Chain A
Amino acid sequence: MSSPVISVNNLSAAYQKNTVLRNVNFEITPGSLTAIVGPNGAGKSTLIKTMLNLHPSLTGEVQYFGLPFKKVKKRIGYVPQRGSVDWDFPTDALDVVTMGLYGEVGWLKRPSKSHKKQAFEALEKMGMGDYANRQISQLSGGQQQRVFLARALVQNADLYFMDEPLAGVDAATEIAIMETLKKLNAIGKTVLVVHHDLQTVEDYFDHVLFLNKTIINHGKTEKVFTKDNITRAYGGNIRILGGGI
């Protein structure tokens, strides 16, 4: 049994006075592909943001590879929600992907031709080679999401956090993204994905983490993805939401 990539101990967080996360404890095993699921307002995005120091925690600590976040920042890739940035910003797809290499380029230095080439290859991997010089405001939602994925790929991180990468994307993009995640997974990267579609959890992820302000259950998909856990996480609403399960 290898040591966990992430261990979260007693993590709590709040927005103003509303507690959004309560005493969250879990560990992530290396090379796993985990879906974080739960109803709206369950604190899924807040969990990721708190783990990445983007939102203050009230209690608890998170360790990555046995170290605090600040020491391993560069080994962690983050794909924020598509809606979290202003897509009107005047730049093109290639430039956004190149941003993923800024850590490697070095602060106050300019990206070289080989960096641009690396960024272009990542775009090609996401099927976006033809759109490299397209303004990001002119891309569809799915294409924007692929650009974000490509930007994460060039980071060459060991651990990836993705916040709803499949929300509101077309079917082709969903397939492209899942293929990419599986490829990352195959070469030993650990991936955590906030996911909203219960229908696809079993097909896409080998681990599931049920969250509703605190951990409801967490483990291998075949073990914990049960009707019982889903009902516990989502309450009675699940009959309306996911009739297929």
Chain B
Amino acid sequence: MWSLLFNTNTGWVIMSTTILGIASGAIGCLAYWKRQNLMSDALSHAALPGVVITFLIVQEKNLLLLIIGAGISAFLGAMLIQWISNASRISEDAAMGMVLAIFYGLGIMLLTVANRSAGGNQSGLDSFIFGQAAAMVKSDVRIMSILAIVVIFIIVIGFKEWKLYLFDRHFANGLGLPIGFMNGLYTLVLVMTIVIGIQAVGVILMAAMLIIPAVSSRYWTKSFRNMLIISSSFGAISGAVGTFISSKGSGWPTGPFIVVIAAGIFILSLTLGKEKGLLIKFLNKQQQKKQQTLRTEIREVK
């Protein structure tokens, strides 16, 4: 059994979901401070029709092509959200909710069609819904890892620029940072992270990989740099452990396990985190109470 767990394929797959976790943890911090957490959820759902349509066209599970299809579909979703919220009275969150549901519905509908077509059942397209890291082959792992490393690289070399862009866009613009370009780059890395993650984690739960590590990291640090590092580490741990556990059973979906691990890290952070974690808050309150009683006692003695 142990040899089954540690066969080379599982090892590779775990490595790739670890790198994916680093990338999604980092980009999640950007999304967190852009206050666009729902956006990542909308875009990951919006990727599904692209995956299925590409499969229907090329009739084979070529991951690179499916990723490109997913990317186009997610980008269309992003543009549609922008367009709806700019051109109508509908607010951005309502637009995101609509796009999320409509694209996902369309994706599931097309998936039914694809599954009925010849060879569709064996396509493994279903794995894009909840994620099936074990279904990945070595070339998939390679594509995923390379793209994730590109995302990480873009965030690391532009660290100072991302910080300025997230904290004060108007001031950044005054300094000559091209805000339109940064908006585009942000959407690009967000969509890239989502589409490379959907095979392993699935469209439904991919957003959790972006949101939960970033939120958890807030409980451990006061600096943006450390937030990026901690969030990436949490993403990496969730990715690695979740994939490891899901590889133990045949047909166990990867996404839910990764999310459960991420949620566990969140609960630990919420309770034990050194920045406004519940335990620290409780202890501080106790101390304040003690000092208060001490002060009253001193006053009474006087």
A interface with B by C-beta (< 8 Å): 49, 52-54, 73-74, 76-78, 80, 84-86, 89-92, 96, 99-100, 102-103, 105, 107-111, 135, 151, 155
Closest Cβ of chain B to A20, distance in Å, is: 17
Closest Cβ of chain B to A93, distance in Å, is: 12
Q: Is B186 an interface position by the 8 A CB rule?
A: no
Known pairs A89-B33, A100-B175, A151-B171. 5 more at Cβ < 8 A?
A: A86-B35, A92-B222, A99-B175, A102-B160, A109-B160
B174 close to A77 (CB less than 8 A): yes
Which residues of A are found within 8 Å of B177, using beta-carbon distances?
A: 102, 107
A96 close to B167 (CB less than 8 A): yes
Name the residue on B nearest A73 (C-beta). B176
Which residues of A are found within 8 Å of B48, using beta-carbon distances?
A: none
A91 close to B224 (CB less than 8 A): yes
List 17 interface pairs A-B (beta carbons < 8 Å), by A numbering. A52-B173, A53-B173, A54-B170, A73-B175, A73-B176, A76-B174, A78-B171, A86-B33, A86-B35, A90-B223, A91-B163, A91-B223, A91-B224, A99-B168, A99-B171, A151-B171, A155-B175
A85 close to B168 (CB less than 8 A): yes
B227 close to A90 (CB less than 8 A): yes
B161 close to A90 (CB less than 8 A): no
Q: Is B166 an interface position by the 8 A CB rule?
A: yes
Which residues of B are found within 8 Å of A102, using beta-carbon distances?
A: 160-161, 164, 175, 177
Which residues of B are found within 8 Å of A151, using beta-carbon distances?
A: 171
A84 close to B167 (CB less than 8 A): no
Q: Is B157 an interface position by the 8 A CB rule?
A: yes
Which residues of B are found within 8 Å of A54, using beta-carbon distances?
A: 170, 173
Query: Is the interface on chain B under 10, 10 to 19, 20 to 34, or 35 or more residues?
Result: 20 to 34
Among the interface residues B35, B161, B163, which one has the most CB atoms of the partner chain A within 10 A?
A: B163
Name the residue on B nearest A81 (C-beta). B170
Among the interface residues B33, B174, B176, B223, which one has the most CB atoms of the partner chain A within 10 A?
A: B174
Provide the bound-state CA to CA distance between A52 and B176, in Å: 11
Q: Are A84 and B170 CB-contacts (below 8 A) given A89-B224, A102-B164, A107-B161?
A: yes
B167 close to A103 (CB less than 8 A): no
Which residues of B are found within 8 Å of A86, using beta-carbon distances?
A: 33, 35, 167
Q: Is B85 an interface position by the 8 A CB rule?
A: no
Closest Cβ of chain A to B5, distance in Å, is: 39
Provide the bound-state CA to CA distance between A52 and B160, in Å: 23
Closest Cβ of chain A to B24, distance in Å, is: 19
Q: Is B249 an interface position by the 8 A CB rule?
A: no
